Structure 1
């Protein structure tokens, strides 16, 4: 489970609370939460609220090294793949079977 990314639609200006609610409603409430989560240093993921939520969930929250994308190479490759998939999706005007989210194998 821990290496299977889940992609969910969100907005650039979502707050920490918006992100936490999305994570809870679409992921945590339907799956088993990983014991350790590695995240980038986006302010939404470094806030006091986010830290408290992870303490409540019982997960260890770790951050990748700033300005060193090699630390999180797998995530970087997955993001590149997602960008390619979205580009193709938009270019060919394909219809989504499930626009709420999808996984990458």
Structure 2
């Protein structure tokens, strides 16, 4: 699962808003939400996600990396139950997932430049070829 506009779920502190301002002909505009690319934005968002999904992570059926959520299970019934739990935590805080970037019930997937399955982890050769 991939969270949509995840960074915008965190508000900017009032003393930081002036640092996030842009000047246009119509006036000065200040961002009130955290922006992608800010120095500590990724760490802050990761901490927020770790806090929200702490129980799921500790039960060892979920992995988070910033705005990527990977849910794994041994049975289809467990998988559906885990997805339901995650989505039920996302809804109250208005954390939306990009359906185009989500895939469910996969036995193999590409995650963060790696081919992942229940049995193996390998580097995606397309990523290697792009660098060479």
Question: Normalising by structure 2, what TM-score?
Answer: 0.25
Q: Between Structure 1 and Structure 2, which shows a larger proportion of strand residues?
A: 2
Question: Normalising by structure 1, what TM-score?
Answer: 0.29
Of structures 1 and 2, the one with the larger relative CO (CA 8 A, separation 6+) is 1
Q: Between Structure 1 and Structure 2, which shows a larger proportion of helix residues?
A: 1
